[in-house]
Structure 1
Amino acid sequence: MGKVQTLAPDMMKGFGSLFTSVMKEGALPLKYKELIALAMGVGSCCEPCINLHVKKCLNAGATKEEIMEAASVAVVMQGGPAYTYMPAVVDALEANGQ
C-alpha cells in the first residue's frame, strides 16, 4: 500500500478516516462489526480482507467458533465462491495462534 499512499494520498486518507469512524465501539460492539466485516470479506472473496479481519476479530474478543460461524453465514448468502475461501479463514486463525 506504500505506492498507493504515494500515488493517491487523498483517497488513502479518506478511506482511513471512514474506516476509523465506523470500526469502533458504537450501537454495535466492535466485535460484532469485525465479524460482519469478516463475513463481507469472505462473501467478496477477498483474502487480504479475511486475514485482516480474522486478526481484528480475535483482538476484539471473538472466539474461533464465532469467527467460523460468521464466515459460514457468508457462505449461505454467497454460495460456492465464498465456500472456496473458508480455508483462508482457517489459515488466518492458525496464523493467529488459534
Structure 2
Amino acid sequence: MNNSDIKKKMKDSIGYVPPGVMVAQQLGEDFQDIIGMYNDHIWSEGVMPLKYRYLIALATAIFDNNEARAKLEMNKAIKYGANREEIIEVIKQQVWMKGAPTLVQVAPLIQFMNHKFNESNI
C-alpha cells in the first residue's frame, strides 16, 4: 500500500490524517511512507479488536494528562463499540494507577462521555 492509499484509508476510517503522518512528510517521502505503514499496521484490525486498542490509547492519554487526546481516543473507542461501562473501567484504572488527584483531571472526560452517551453531566 503506498502512502497516498494509507492517508486515504486514515481519512476514511478516522476522519483525518494523524499529525505524526503529516509532519513526517516534511522529513521526506520515504520517512512518511514508513510512519504511514507503521500507523496502518497498528490501527488495522488484528488479533485485538480496535475497540480495545482505542481503550488502551484512552488509558495512555489519561495517564499523560492529555485531555484533547483522551477525548479523541474516547470518540474512536465509542465508534468501534466501547460502551460507557468499559470507558468507566478505564478511567477507574487510571485513577488507581495515578492516584486520587486524577479524579479532578478526568472530570471533563466524564462530562464528555456523558454527552456522547446522552446522559446528564456532573
TM-score per shorter chain, which class? 0.7 to 0.9
1:1-98 aligned at under 5 Å gives the runs: 5=22, 9-10=26-27, 13=32, 16-98=36-118
Q: How many residues align?
A: 96
CA distance in 1 between counterparts of 2:35 and 2:111 reads 27
TM-score by length of 2: 0.62
Whole-Å separation in 2 of the counterparts to 1:16 and 1:46? 23
Over 3 Å counting, the alpha-carbon distance change for 1:79 and 1:95 in structure 2 is: same
Distance 1:78 1:15, change over 3 A: farther
Summarize deviations over 1:40-95 as a string: whole Å, max 9, x none.
11111001111101100100100011111112111111224533222122132244
Return the index of the structure with the highest Cα Rg: 2
Identify unmatched segments of 5+ residues in structure 2.
1-17
Q: 1:20 to 1:92 in 2, by over 3 A?
A: farther
Partner amino acid, structure 1, of 2:63 = G
Give the AA of the match of 2:81.
Answer: G
Greater RCO (Cα-Cα under 8 Å, separation 6 or more) = 1
**Percentage of pairs with the same residue:** 27
Shift in CA distance, 18/95, structure 1 to aligned 2, threshold 3 Å:
farther
My pick for the range that moved more, 37-46 or 76-85, is 76-85
Q: Distance in 1 between matches of 2:41 and 2:101?
A: 30
